[in-house]
Amino acid sequence: MTTTSYTEASTSRFADLTVGGTGYRIHYNDIGAGTVVAMLHGSGPGATGWANFSRNIDALVETGHRVLLVDCPGWGQSSPVVCTGSRSDLNAEILRGLFDALGIEQGHVIGNSMGGHSAVAFALANPGRVGKLVLMGGGTGGPSLYAPMPTEGIKLLQGLYRDPTIEKLKAMMNVFVYDPGALTAEQMQMRLDNMLSQRLHLDNFVKSLAANPRQFPDQNARLHEISAPTLIIWGRDDRFVPMDVGLRLLAGIADARLHVFSRCGHWAQWEHADAFNALVAQFLDD
């Protein structure tokens, strides 16, 4: 039974971190108590930890976990950044810095899309500090062997960053999820308002792509180095990162299992929240 007694505002925290000689003010939400589960969001305009994982917090907290929702640099209330190197590595270093600041030696890491890429980078750089990994629609297993790259969804995402309008947001969300009819007009407007309130983040993302189009390096050759038990979750109908990329992660990571949701796009934790929550909770507690 859900006993939610927290809000986004009441769990909001900040940490001042230094990575590579640069200072970052990082926003995160800290909910619950127990084994740490850090959740890393995707790269969509207006994304935040809370927005990406609001349907999953209760299930993890109620099964005895302390949930950290991290806003990566360039998103939410965290510091702006023009990233000229690997975004995956930067986010991984931010997570390590946050663990250090909070006195956390080890935690599970859940990553969606860009968050999956960042979770893999964290596991490769800090093998002793990750318990288990959950990767959804990302993990830098390389480009799809079958779908044209960049994919339809990624092209729409980049177009939205350059020209953030409600029409372009709707066009992106129509391929982001399997059933766009489940998204309300109010949710769309809230997402647009969130994007427009952080115009510097939007502009910096475009500048970052111009400086380095390969923000998320292919780690396929290093996946065998990951020893953490890994749950890979994919939507069969993902039009942002095709399912064969998930198969490459499964082949490369030794202790990995794959779950595929039918009638599911790029947002499994939102589109199939109840089944996702049960699957992840069981995996983390096995």
Q: Is 203 exposed, middle or buried (0-12, 13-18, 19+ CB in 10 A)?
A: middle
Mean pLDDT, range 14-39, rounded to an integer: 97
Catalytically annotated residue among 65, 201, 259, 266: 266
Residue 141 predicted with pLDDT over 90: no
Average pLDDT over residues 148-152: 94
Query: Residues 195-232: pLDDT tens digits?
Result: 999 999 999 999 999 999 999 999 999 999 999 999 99
CB-side neighbour CA atoms (13 Å) of 1: 1
- Residues with Cβ within 8 Å of 107's Cβ and at least 6 positions away in sequence, in order, are 35, 36, 37, 38, 68, 99, 129, 130, 131
Q: Classify 244 in phi/psi space as left (phi over 0), alpha (psi -120 to 50) or beta.
A: alpha
Chain mean pLDDT for the chain: 96
pLDDT at residue 2 tops 70: no
Q: Span 241-255, mean pLDDT?
A: 97
Note if 117 is an active site residue. Answer: no
Helix residue ranges, H only, 212-257: 243-252
Instruction: Evaluate if residue 1 carries a pLDDT over 70.
Output: no
In the predicted model, is pLDDT for residue 156 greater than 70?
Answer: yes
* pLDDT of res. 4: 63
In percent, the amount of the chain with pLDDT more than 70 equals 99
Residues whose CB is less than 8 angstroms from the CB of residue 44 and which lie 6 or more positions away in sequence, other chains included: 113, 157, 172, 176
Q: Which two tokens stand for residue 172?
A: 């992106």
- C-alpha closest to that of 26 among 66, 76, 60, 88: 76
pTM of the model: 0.97
Q: Which residue is listed with tokens 């990082």?
A: 26
How large is the average pLDDT for residues 101-129?
98
CA distance 16 to 276: 32
**Angle CA 27–32–37, to nearest 5:** 65
What pLDDT, on the 0 to 100 scale, is given for residue 5?
A: 81
DSSP state of 224: G
Please list, in sequence order, all residues whose beta carbon lies within 8 angstroms of the beta carbon of residue 1, skipping any fewer than 6 positions away.
none
